Each structure stands twice: as C-alpha cells, then as structure tokens.
Amino acid sequence: MEATTSEYIEVRESGIHNLGVYAKKDIPKGARVIEYVGERITKAEADRRSEAHMSLADNDDSNGRVYIFELNKSHDIDGNVPWNTARYINHSCSPNCEAELIRGHIWIIAKKRIKHGEEISYNYGYGFDDYDKHPCNCGSKNCIGYILDKRHWPKLRKIMDR
Ligand SMILES: C[S@@+](CC[C@H](N)C(=O)[O-])C[C@H]1O[C@@H](n2cnc3c(N)ncnc32)[C@H](O)[C@@H]1O
Ligand SMILES: [Zn+2]
C-alpha cells in the first residue's frame, strides 16, 4: 500500500518530537489537509490492541490509543499503519488543525489559515488519568505542560496552583 499524501504537506524532522508534518504551502482555513487512514477495526479489537500496546510499552490507555480514532458506534480506525502519513502529526496545545469525521472518513481539517513551513498539529484529546506520563513539548505560548484534552485543563490548573 502506498503512503497517503496531500498537496499541502511534507514529513520531516520536528522540534516537538522526532518526525512531524509540515505545510509545504499556505493552507486555507477549512481545507482538508490530509485524510487519517488506517485499518477499520471493531471496538473489541481496538480494546485488545490498546491493552497489548499498554502491556508492551508499560503505557496507559491514552498512549495505547494514540493511533485509534472513533469511526462510529461499532468501529474504530487504527492509524498505526505505514501508509497513514497523518500518523506523523504531533500534538499541540495551540493546534492549527482538528480531526473531523466526514461521511465515514476522518479528515485533518485546518482550523485557521496555515502558513507555508508551519508544523501541522491537533490536540490528541488525551484523558486526565496519568496525564503526568505525557509531558508536552509543543512549545506554544499557552502550553499546559502535558498532552491533554482542553476540557481537562481547568482541573490540571487547580492541581498546579496548589
Ligand atoms: C502519533 S505519533 C506522532 C509522530 C511522532 N513524532 C513520530 O515521529 O512518530 C505520537 C507520539 O509522538 C510524540 N508526541 C506527539 N506530540 C507531542 C508533544 N506535543 N510533546 C511531546 N511528544 C509528542 C509522543 O511520543 C506520542 O506518543
Ligand atoms: Zn503543549
């Protein structure tokens, strides 16, 4: 299977972590930057893969689910396949993209105009459990310090203020 590509992006070394995805030209707000593809699996299989990943890497559930996206009530997409170029997109606390489900396909959509050379990012939406196992290196001005869904930020701020 050939790796997915898009007129908008290229993969190269990232200041956030290892490899990342970068805009190779200006991207208009609302554009479909790249499709997040993978293997269509049942929820039961997704749970099994997350657990296997956890015990292998001694990681928590959110890490096990790094590549797993909800497709519908019965199925998920496991993006941990070599042809899914979108798997190189890093997390940011000030992301310029978000993942959206559009007619059975997961798309990485530009939330704002993205300039040539900017790194493509979205919020991974990690849960609160074991947040401290996932320090964030996004470098954005309002980085909360951990890879965490924005809805959990108030809880984390309370803990940090103590
Ligand atoms: C889906 S991969 C992203 C691509 C990754 N940079 C690579 O080269 O394979 C997810 C992993 O990248 C790392 N990562 C992504 N965003 C990060 C961030 N903001 N801060 C620290 N590590 C990050 C974490 O190790 C995470 O488990
Ligand atoms: Zn951050």
Segments of the chain with pLDDT less than 70: 54-65
pTM across the whole model: 0.93
* Ligand 1 neighbourhood includes 144 CB (under 6 angstroms): no
Ligand 1 contact, 136 CB (< 6 A): yes
Side-chain-side CA neighbours of 68 within 13 Å: the count stands at 21
Q: How much is the pLDDT for 50?
A: 83
9-161: CATH topology = Beta-clip-like (2.170.270)
Question: Which of 17, 62, 65 to mutate for ligand 1's pocket (most ligand atoms within 8 Å of CB)?
Answer: 17
H runs (alpha helix) in 3-151? 43-57, 61-64
pLDDT of res. 95: 98
Amino acid found at 16 = I
pLDDT at 58: 53
pLDDT, position 61? 46
Cβ(134) to ligand 1 under 6 A? Answer: no
Q: How far apart are alpha carbons 84 and 139 in whole angstroms?
A: 25
Interatomic CA distance for residues 1 and 35, integer angstroms? 15
Using a 6 Å cutoff on CB, does residue 16 contact ligand 1? yes
Residue whose CA is at the smallest distance from ligand 1 atom 1: 87
